[in-house]
Amino acid sequence: MVIRGLLAVLCLLDAALAVLVAAPLPRVPALVAAAVAVTSWSLVLVPPALLGLAAAVCAARRCPWWAGAAALTAFAALVYGVMPYAAAYRTAERHGASLDLGTYVSGGVNYAKTPARGRGITYARPGGERVRLDLWTLPERPAARRPAVVWVHGGGWNKGHRSQSPRWNRWFNARGWSVFDIDYRLAPRVTQLDQIRDVRCAVRWVRRHARTYGVDPERLVLAGSSAGGNLALAAAYAQAPSSHTPGAWRAAGTKSERRARSACAMRDRPVAGVVSLYGPTDMRRLIERTVLRADPLMPRLMGGSAAGAPERYRLGSPARLVHHRVPPTLLLHGGADRAVPVAQARDLARRLAVAGAPATYVELPWADHCFDVNWGGWASQVARAALGRFLDGIAGRPPRPAGVTGRTHERQLTGNHG
């Protein structure tokens, strides 16, 4: 009886772990969090799988049925525990990266519950509301200006905060990049267009204060994860020279949004590059083809339905803004993303290739949404290697001397932003 009970427990444990890695799951927050954790730390499946196999062998004669079930579920758990590593290893080889078990074990968690203390700087005041950023930089002042990253946090457009991914900021600093990790106004109080405008204002603020903080405004990269990746891409592509986007921005929006134009002018110089980690690229398809179609936040975020406000959906969808002059783009997306389907990234990568725009797409097999929360995970290791090469290509441009200010053709910020 005891042996049967032990085998039953091992069956259930191994089956549950395998399901969390491989099976489609309902969007229950606790279940999704567990699935992301187990997928990111897939090697946790190996010990219970080996234990289940050992128990099955020992009990094969006395409880053959339960031993067979335990062996089957244990084997499945073992496969799903090892396969993410094998797939990540092949991906790492293709991108010139290496995987390190020590980093996997000791990497820790990339998440902070609150913004960093003592770093907050107000970069905008839309409607009198302070919108802040955290400055992450090395203490010594370089002889030449540093390249910089404007980082946009994720959180489904309605939650999250600046510096919630501090490991990225420290990693950027270690490579010689300053980081401006920004807040933006959250839904449902504002729309997605307001949020994109906040991101663009942050870029303009960094450029205006580049000399103060010792950064090179010509080597500025926009980057973000999840909703932040969506906003970073949309803002970067809107800033790129084109014949239709500025006019579309002037035409779209509510009265309150149009009044905000003077607070942050739309025309701007393009950034040197843009990076998206598992960010949505087509809002209409995302909402229509996922559980978001039943989310009451979405119409408020988008300012209406897709049929009633098509231009707003287009301006919030980077895949609909592609042309050959968009900035160099790096897309990092998990092949097993259960929140933002990998088809979103593949579609944008295809459109960028057709347009002849400079872009790199790295698909991380078996990686789920928010894979970089596990800082040492296989997907995170490959992502850092790919992002490092992307940044090196931008940082390799000749830096602007610290005492020289280049001419710009952007209009000065006025009104409440600045």
- Residue 20 is encoded by which pair of tokens? 């969390």
Q: Which domains does the chain have, with CATH numbers?
A: 2-94 (no CATH), 120-395 (3.40.50.1820)
Residue that wins the pLDDT comparison between 397 and 361: 361
d(CA 38, CA 45): 8
d(CA 253, CA 314): 12
d(CA 370, CA 269): 30
d(CA 73, CA 3): 16
Classify 87 in phi/psi space as left (phi over 0), alpha (psi -120 to 50) or beta: alpha
Q: Does 400 score more than 90 pLDDT?
A: no
DSSP at 92: H
Among 339, 364, 336, 351, CA closest to 280: 339
d(CA 4, CA 303): 57
- Residue 163 is encoded by which pair of tokens? 């510096």
The predicted model gives 50-76 an average pLDDT of 67
Q: What is the dihedral of CA 347, 241, 131, 274, to 10 degrees?
A: 40
State the helix-helix crossing angle for 64-94 and 2-22, rounded to 10 degrees: 30
Angle 168-171-176 from CA coordinates, rounded to 5°: 125
> Parallel, antiparallel, or unpaired for β 131-136 and 215-225?
unpaired
Sequence-distant (6+) residues with CB within 8 A of 225 are 152, 153, 154, 165, 276, 277, 278, 279, 370, 372
pLDDT category of residue 37 using cuts at 50, 70 and 90: confident
Q: Does 257 score more than 90 pLDDT?
A: no
d(CA 298, CA 287): 8
d(CA 347, CA 104): 31
pLDDT category of residue 266 using cuts at 50, 70 and 90: very low
DSSP at 417: B
d(CA 96, CA 363): 14
Q: Does 261 score more than 60 pLDDT?
A: no
The predicted model gives 249-277 an average pLDDT of 68
Among 64, 79, 69, CA closest to 17: 79
* Residue in the block written with tokens 């890695």: 21
Residue that wins the pLDDT comparison between 103 and 78: 103
Residue 254's pLDDT is 53
Model's pTM, two decimal places? 0.86
Residue 319's pLDDT is 98
The predicted model gives 158-165 an average pLDDT of 98
pLDDT category of residue 195 using cuts at 50, 70 and 90: very high
Classify 260 in phi/psi space as left (phi over 0), alpha (psi -120 to 50) or beta: alpha
Q: Does 88 score more than 70 pLDDT?
A: yes
The predicted model gives 137-142 an average pLDDT of 78
> What is the DSSP secondary-structure string of 155-220?
STTTS--TTS-HHHHHHHHHTT-EEEEE----TTTS-HHHHHHHHHHHHHHHHHTHHHHTEEEEEE
Residue 414's pLDDT is 27
The predicted model gives 138-159 an average pLDDT of 90
Query: 159-179 burial by CB neighbour count: b if 16+ within 10 A, else e?
Result: ebbbbbbbbbbebbbeeebbb
Q: Does 166 score more than 90 pLDDT?
A: yes
Return the minimum-mean-pLDDT range out of 235-239, 242-246, 294-298, 323-327. Answer: 242-246
Highest mean pLDDT among 40-49, 78-87, 307-316: 307-316
- Residue 342 is encoded by which pair of tokens? 């990998």
Q: Does 13 score more than 80 pLDDT?
A: no
Q: Does 28 score more than 80 pLDDT?
A: no
pLDDT category of residue 267 using cuts at 50, 70 and 90: low
Instruction: Name the percent of the chain lying above pLDDT 70.
Output: 76
Among 253, 252, 268, 254, CA closest to 206: 268
